[in-house]
Chain A
């Protein structure tokens, strides 16, 4: 049962085997949680929103036509629900108000001593969380969820070129942080 494709599981759930939905939940919960935690910057909110996302997806399963992958459809729900949560908490700093041209500077988030002390994995982990919501969502979807740029653009309702620009910008800012730190010696 665990090796079934998403579509096969969805068909089974549609036939009335509600408990099969737990396979889908187990398959996506940690990846979606990672994305939500980085977007909402709060573990409790992330888990609460994730429950809502799975409930929403379950209720809308009958209208899922299978034109895109289930994962793309589901991450679209996750992304939009996270934005709604952020909006309701009045923490929408850049998501709705600015375009892809918005500016952020990770270096200003760190003091030089701080960069030197941390190990690179921890630094990367922390910097993703410090990125604006949309950027951290893209990084998580691209690297952790292994989605293609096209799938991410569909999930986030952004153009492919905008997604690429945002991905590059996130990588560049992390690179600049690494270059500024003593961690750069690891590169040699």
Chain B
């Protein structure tokens, strides 16, 4: 004989008891007015809970949300933005250093009389010749291998950071799944 308590009444209500146990509960309910009253109240609550109404969100909810989703779709993630900016800044800085170095090299190797004896056209021609010579020097023989090495290092470092960023983004998505 099972002891009829609240737990058993709940299980009886949910149809979780065996046939034998259910018969015992039925019989106990017939014999006890108090138990019957308790069960009726439980059944009543159960029925009423099935009738609870859902709450409604504001009418613009879906539109606002979809706008937010579409907006977020085209936004570059902050981390990615920092990465792009830092790489671009590094390349710009490198170009400026090379350019500055070229100018200073040309000025130091030019004759001191350039301002006095030649015309402006001559000095520009002289400077452009210098640039061409410098570029030729840089991109030939040993110079070319140095420039190539620098760019390779930049590409390898960029690739590493990019790979790390992708890994982190994937991990974040994984966390979302685990929620």
Partner-B contacts on A (CB < 8 A)? 18-19, 21-22, 25-26, 29-31, 33-34, 37, 47, 50-51, 54-56, 58-60, 62-65, 76-77, 80-81, 120-121, 124-125, 128, 139-140, 143-144, 167-168, 171-172, 174-175, 178-179, 184, 186-187
Closest 4 CB pairs of A and B: A60-B176, A63-B177, A168-B10, A143-B49
Question: Which residue of A25, A37, A56, A59 contacts B62 across the interface (Cβ within 8 Å)?
Answer: A25
Inter-chain contact B44/A186, CB cutoff 8 Å: yes
A80-B54 contact in complex given A18-B70, A63-B173, A175-B45, C-beta closer than 8 Å: no
Nearest B residue (CB) for A38: B55
Within 8 Å by CB of B69, from A21, A62, A81, lies A21
Interface centre among B51, B64, B65 (most CB of A within 10 A): B65
Smallest CB gap from A81: residue in B:
B179
Query: In this complex, which of A76, A125, A128, A175 has the most chain B Cβ atoms within 10 angstroms of its Cβ?
Result: A175
Tell me what chain A mostly uses at the interface: helix, strand, loop, or mixed: helix
How far apart are the CA atoms of A166 and B93 in the complex, in Å? Answer: 64
Within 8 Å by CB of A33, from B42, B55, B69, B72, lies: B55
Q: B179 contacts A77, CB within 8 Å?
A: yes
The reply to whether A30 and B55 form a contact with Cβ atoms under 8 Å apart is yes
A18 cross-chain contacts in B, Cβ below 8 A: 66, 69-70, 73
B52 at the interface (CB under 8 A from A): yes
Chain B, interface SS category: helix
Q: Nearest chain-B residue to A25 (Cβ)? A: B62
Chain A positions within 8 Å of B50 at CB level: 143
List the count of A-B residue pairs having beta carbons below 8 Å apart.
116
Report A-chain residues with C-beta under 8 Å of the C-beta of B41: 175, 178-179, 184, 187
Known: A128-B52, A172-B6, A179-B37. A26 touches B62 (CB 8 A): yes
**Contact yes or no, A59 B176, CB < 8 A:** yes
- Chain B interface residues (CB < 8 Å from chain A): 6-7, 10, 37-38, 40-42, 44-46, 48-52, 54-58, 61-62, 64-66, 68-70, 72-73, 173-174, 176-177, 179
Closest CB-CB distance, B103 to chain A, in whole Å? 49
Q: Is the CB of B57 within 8 A of A50?
A: yes
Considering the complex, give the chain B residue whose CB is closest to the CB of A78: B179
**B49 near A63: Cβ-Cβ < 8 Å:** no
Query: Which residues on the B side are within 8 Å of A31 (C-beta)?
Result: 54
14 pairs, CB–CB < 8 Å, chain A vs chain B: A22-B65, A25-B61, A25-B65, A29-B61, A30-B54, A51-B61, A58-B69, A60-B176, A63-B173, A120-B48, A121-B51, A124-B48, A144-B52, A171-B46
Docked CA distance A60–B170 (Å): 10
- B173: A residues at CB distance < 8 A: 59-60, 62-63
The answer to whether B10 and A178 touch across the interface, beta carbons within 8 angstroms, is no
Contact check, A175 vs B52: say whether CB atoms are below 8 A apart.
no
Is B65 a contact partner of A54 (Cβ separation < 8 A)?
Answer: yes
Q: Once bound together, how far apart are the Cα atoms of A175 and B37, in whole Å? A: 10
Contact A171 B69 (CB under 8 A): no
- When distances are taken between beta carbons in the complex, the residues of chain B under 8 Å from A33 are 54-57
Residues of B within 8 A of A128 (CB): 52
Given the known interface contacts A21-B66, A55-B69, the answer about A80 and B179 at a Cβ–Cβ threshold of 8 Å is yes
